[in-house]
């Protein structure tokens, strides 16, 4: 691992002898380049998400099949990594598709820290309302407003320095995050200075559980709960972030929950992994630890096509078992999987059949066994028609509205939601125009521009992938001069 240098100290650190948290043990890095732009395979950069006091970049994976009102996961990379590396290797996109949720991948760069480490050890970056922590929460707010994410089901996870920042976020924002997962990371507020960082890495202070818990309570004074539910992942042969950190994390969060440090249950999992569960007063798991025997520094992944397999092995993505699957189950993300709500599937064929300046008409394929349907506009339920069609009224002219539909069973429980469509009422701005072409042609026509070998849509700055004649996208222009990716469909008044 290499030392992370906070942006405020970057110009002052001249000696290579400075020792702080680093990510690389088995594969040391001789030089650090600026992170490459993420690939276009579903990962899109988002700009304008807030004032961004921490100077971070926001990338998001938002599957077409995910409806508004779904959970949100925030996934933080480790030092020298990028959002794209975490997207490609961690396995989160697989379960976003399978279970139905959106994922935000914050990215820090060498402009913040020489090795692109999140500033878990810097109070100006890791505390409530400040720096990188505040930027990440702004990304959450953007997702809630734009994707309709359920604010009650927001979760954060991270590796190494990203794991340290995860613990800090859980402590500083228990009102934002319902749960977290710390992989090869550090206890919340273990270090609050450059000098203390390396001590946490190799062996945190020998504090009592109450003293560790006090660090969490002091991060958001006056908060009385509920506290986030926390998963802790650690390799027993990690000599970069030592296993003592997992013990300190367990002590910290069990104390916050007011439960003891003796597990309620223990079981063996694949990959030489031992899971220990610490239940709250109601008997529900509040803290879980996953100790992976013989594993070094990294995120456990388990490549394969099985339901509990995920990810790709690589530097700091270690082939043991799919931690993402077990973390998602711990948080309950699997409970919203397709087939919920009396086992009813998502309605197919949701289409905008017409618009006026104040109405939008929808239709979809009927679902066998449905007693009615729930129609959602921008994440809020607006109607429960009995038939497979609906006309929404009282809308504003020239405005875009995002719709999804779910079948409702005889018990009144909604099943899986449909893919979203957007209806734009007439009037107001001029109708949208749509263009389908290669990335090369879009750039040539002035609808996109290039940076670093990728094409970016003018106005929205969405990453369209490699600048070549092999990648094709549909761009929707609205208003004039602003283009957004509309590969799922783009017609006048709808997309």
Residues annotated catalytic, as ranges: 160
Q: How many residues does the chain have?
A: 495
208 CB burial (10 A radius; 0-12, 13-18, 19+): exposed
Residues 6 or more apart whose Cβ sits within 8 Å of residue 268: 274, 275
- For helices 161-172 and 209-217, the axis angle rounded to 10 degrees is 70
Q: 125 — phi, psi (to 5°)?
A: -115, -25
Count CB neighbours of 449 within 10 A: 14
Angle value at C-alpha 163, between 160 and 169, nearest 5 degrees: 150
The sheet with strand 351-355 has its strands ordered as 351-355, 360-363, 389-392
- Measured CA to CA in angstroms, residue 296 lies from 116, 211, 240, 243, 485 at distances of 21, 28, 8, 10, 41
Q: Catalogue the E-assigned strands of 307-413.
A: 317-319, 351-355, 360-363, 372-377, 380-383, 389-392, 400-408
Closest of 404, 486, 396, 483 to residue 445, by C-alpha: 483
> Is the bond into 479 cis (omega within 30 degrees of 0)?
yes
Residue 422 has which token pair? 């957007």
Closest of 113, 103, 59 to residue 84, by C-alpha: 59
Cα–Cα distance, 277 to 271 (Å, whole number): 18
Cα–Cα distance, 481 to 439 (Å, whole number): 17
By the 8 A CB rule, do 177 and 229 touch?
A: no
What is the b/e burial string over 171-201, where b = at least 16 CB atoms within 10 angstroms of the residue's CB?
A: bbbbebbbbbbbbbbbbbbbbbebeebbebb
Residue 65 has which token pair? 């099949």
| 3 state SS of 270 | coil
Cα–Cα distance, 341 to 38 (Å, whole number): 36
| 3 state SS of 477 | strand
Residues 6 or more apart whose Cβ sits within 8 Å of residue 129: none
- For helices 131-146 and 161-172, the axis angle rounded to 10 degrees is 70
């Amino acid at each position: 691992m290499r030392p992370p240098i906070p942006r405020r100290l970057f110009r002052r650190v001249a000696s290579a002898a400075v020792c702080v948290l680093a990510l690389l043990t088995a594969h040391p890095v001789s030089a650090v380049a600026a992170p490459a732009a993420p690939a276009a395979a579903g990962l899109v950069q988002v700009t304008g998400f807030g004032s961004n006091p921490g100077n971070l970049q926001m990338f998001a994976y938002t599957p077409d099949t995910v409806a508004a009102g779904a959970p949100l996961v925030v996934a933080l990379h480790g030092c020298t990594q990028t959002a794209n590396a975490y997207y490609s290797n961690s396995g989160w996109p697989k379960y976003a598709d399978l279970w139905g949720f959106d994922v935000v991948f914050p990215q820090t760069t060498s402009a913040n820290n020489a090795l692109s480490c999140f500033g878990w050890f810097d109070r100006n970056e890791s505390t409530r309302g400040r720096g990188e922590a505040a930027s990440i929460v702004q990304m959450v707010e953007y997702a809630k407003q734009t994707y309709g994410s359920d604010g009650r089901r927001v979760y954060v996870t991270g590796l190494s320095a990203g794991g340290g920042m995860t613990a800090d976020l859980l402590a500083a924002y228990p009102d934002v995050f319902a749960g977290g997962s710390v992989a090869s990371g550090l206890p919340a507020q273990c270090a609050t200075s450059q000098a203390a960082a390396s001590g946490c890495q190799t062996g945190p202070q020998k504090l009592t559980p109450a003293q560790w818990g006090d660090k969490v309570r002091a991060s958001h004074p006056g908060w009385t709960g509920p506290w986030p539910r926390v998963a802790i992942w650690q390799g027993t042969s990690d000599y970069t972030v030592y296993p003592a950190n997992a013990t300190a994390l367990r002590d910290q969060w069990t104390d916050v929950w007011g439960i003891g440090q003796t597990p309620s249950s223990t079981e063996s999992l694949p990959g030489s992994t031992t899971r220990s569960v610490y239940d709250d007063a109601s008997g529900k798991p509040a803290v879980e630890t996953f100790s992976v025997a013989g594993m070094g520094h990294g995120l456990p992944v388990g490549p394969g096509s099985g339901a509990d397999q995920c990810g790709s092995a690589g530097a700091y993505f270690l082939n043991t078992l799919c931690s993402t699957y077990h973390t998602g189950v711990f948080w309950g993300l699997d409970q919203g999987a397709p087939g919920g709500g009396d086992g009813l599937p998502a309605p197919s064929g949701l289409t905008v059949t017409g618009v006026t300046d104040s109405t939008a008409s929808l239709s979809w394929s009927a679902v066998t066994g449905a007693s009615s349907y729930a129609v959602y506009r921008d994440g809020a339920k607006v109607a429960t028609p009995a038939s497979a069609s609906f006309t929404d009224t009282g809308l504003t002219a020239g405005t875009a509205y995002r719709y999804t539909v779910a079948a409702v069973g005889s018990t009144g429980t909604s099943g899986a939601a449909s893919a979203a469509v957007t209806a734009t009422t007439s009037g107001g701005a001029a109708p949208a125009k749509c263009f389908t072409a290669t990335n090369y042609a879009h750039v040539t026509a002035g609808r996109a521009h290039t940076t670093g070998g990728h094409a970016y849509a003018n106005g929205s700055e969405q990453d369209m992938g490699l600048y070549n004649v092999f990648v094709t996208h549909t761009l929707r222009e609205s208003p004039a001069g602003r283009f957004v990716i509309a590969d799922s469909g783009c017609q006048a008044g709808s997309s």
